[in-house]
Structure 1
C-alpha cells in the first residue's frame, strides 16, 4: 500500500478523520489540549498546525501510522515514520521474535499477515489446515482472506461458514473504515463476491439455531474426518514507529474444546516420534 496525499492540505484530511471518529471540534480540542476555535482554523486552512499539533491530533484521532505520514506531508512536514521492507536488517530482531513465537505456539495454528491480509509467516499448524488445497490458492503471495473464503479453499471445509464468513467480512469492513486502502477495498469486493461452496447453505450448521457452547464464535473446520473448533485471537505491536510493523497482525487459533487440543497434540507427538525414530 502507498501513502496517499491530498493536495487540498492537512485541514480537510483532519476534518475527515474527526468526522470518521464522530467527534465534535470541541471534543477533539479537549482531548488534544487545544481549543475548538483553533481546530476550526486548522480544518478550514486559516491556521497551519505545527508538526507537534499534527501528531497530537493524529494520536487522539487514532489515525493509523501510514496515514500520519500523509497528514504530515499535507501539512508541509517530512514523514515521521519509516516504511522498511520486512527483510530489512533493522527488523531482524522482530523477524526472529515472531518466528520464535510462531514455533512456540505449535502444534496450534498461528500466522502473521500484513495490512492486506498477505501471509508473511505461518507455523506448521497452519500448513496442517491448508493441506490439500489447490495450488492456485497456495501460490505466493498467500492471502488469508482468499484462502478462507474461496469456494475451493477452506470455505469448503468450514462447517459454520455462514457465520464465519459474516465475521471475516465484518472485520474487513471495520478495517476499511480505519484506513484508506484501495487494495484492501478491492480485496473485500473480491472475497465478498465469492459464491458459497456447493451445499454450504444447506449444511447442518447453517440452519442450527442453538448457541455454541464456546466462549467466542468458533471456526469449525473439517480435517481428516474430524471437526476441529478454533477461536481466533489477533495481536498487533504496541506504539509502532515503522509503517510495516504497524500493519502486521499476529493471529493465533486457540482450540475451542479439549478434543481439538488433544488431537493437535497427538499429531505433534506422532510427528516427533516419527522423526526421532
Structure 2
C-alpha cells in the first residue's frame, strides 16, 4: 500500500475536491443524500464523516481511487482499495487480457502505462517506432513521456512536435490537478524543460509566431483529431490516438493503468506498417 496519510484533515480535502468539481455544498448534498449543513460541518471540521459518507462523497465527486484511500486515512479510517503489483499472481488474467489486446492491435502501435507513464506493456508496433534510439532511453523502466519528448528520443522524428508536445504537456497538467503525485510533478518538470530539437517546427507554424514555448495547439483541418506524425524509415506515419481506462476499478494499480492505441490516420500509414509484417495483407 503506497497511499500515505495527508497532512491535512478530511474536511479541507473534501472541500478541495468539491471546488475542483465546481459544485456547491447544496448540489453535493442533494447528490449524496445529505444536507448542505452537514457538508458544511464536515468541511469545517465541526463534524466527522462516517466511513460510508466519505466513500459516498468521493463517489459523487469522482475522486480517483488512490485519493479515496487518502480521504479515508485523513478521516481516521483504513484504506479500502488495495494496490496490487501487476506481476502478482492474482493479476494473471488481467495481464493475459492486456497482452491479447496489444497483440490484436498489431501492426499498429499500442501500449499500457501506469499513473506516471511508466510503460508496463507494449506491442511490436511500439518497438518499431523506437528503432535506433539510444540505449539509455530504452533501459527499464521505460517512460512514455520521457522517450517521446527527449531531444535524443522520438522528438526529432515527430513532424508536428510543437503540437504533439503541447497536447502531452496539457494532458499531464490535467492529471496533476487530480492527483497529488510528486513523481508525476517531477516528470512534468523534467520533460517540460527539454529543449526543442534544432529547426523544430510544427505543422501550420508561421514564421512570425512565438516558437519558444513549444505549445502550438492549432490542429490541421485535414484530420479528425490531432495526429502524431512521426518519421520511420523515410516515411511519415500519421496516427490518431485513443486512451482507455478500466471501468469502476477496485484496485489502485488497475485504476491508474491506461491503454493507448494508435490508429493509422491515412492509407499510406496502413500500407507502410503492413509492409513490415511478413505475409500480411
Deviations 1:90-118 (A, max 9, x none): 11110000000001110000000000000
1:265 aligns with 2:274: yes
**Contact map agreement 1:200 1:206 (CA 8 A) in 2:** no
Q: 1:223 pairs with 232, 243, 246, which one?
A: 232
Deviations 1:126-184 (A, max 9, x none): 00000011111101110000011011111000000010000000000011111110110
TM-fit CA distance, 1:58: 0.3
Which stretches of structure 1, 4 residues or more, deviate above 4 A after TM superposition? none
1:56 aligns with 2:56: yes
**Contact map agreement 1:236 1:249 (CA 8 A) in 2:** yes
Please give the alpha-carbon distance, in whole angstroms, between the structure 1 residues aligned to 2:231 and 2:220.
20
**Residue aligning to 1:32:** 32
Q: 1:243 pairs with 233, 252, 265, which one?
A: 252
Unaligned runs of 5+ in 1: none
Question: What SS does the corresponding residue of 1:232 show, helix, strand or coil?
Answer: strand
Question: What SS does the corresponding residue of 1:92 show, helix, strand or coil?
Answer: helix
Please give the alpha-carbon distance, in whole angstroms, between the structure 2 residues aligned to 1:261 and 1:132.
22
TM-fit CA distance, 1:268: 1.2
Alignment root-mean-square deviation, CA: 1.8
**Residue aligning to 2:67:** 67
Please give the alpha-carbon distance, in whole angstroms, between the structure 2 residues aligned to 1:204 and 1:53.
50
TM-score (norm 2): 0.92
TM-score (norm 1): 0.93
Q: How many residues align?
A: 271
TM-fit CA distance, 1:48: 1.2
Higher helix share: 1
**Residue aligning to 2:4:** 4
**Residue aligning to 2:104:** 104
- After superposing the two structures, state which structure 1 stretch, 185-194 or 205-214, moved more: 205-214
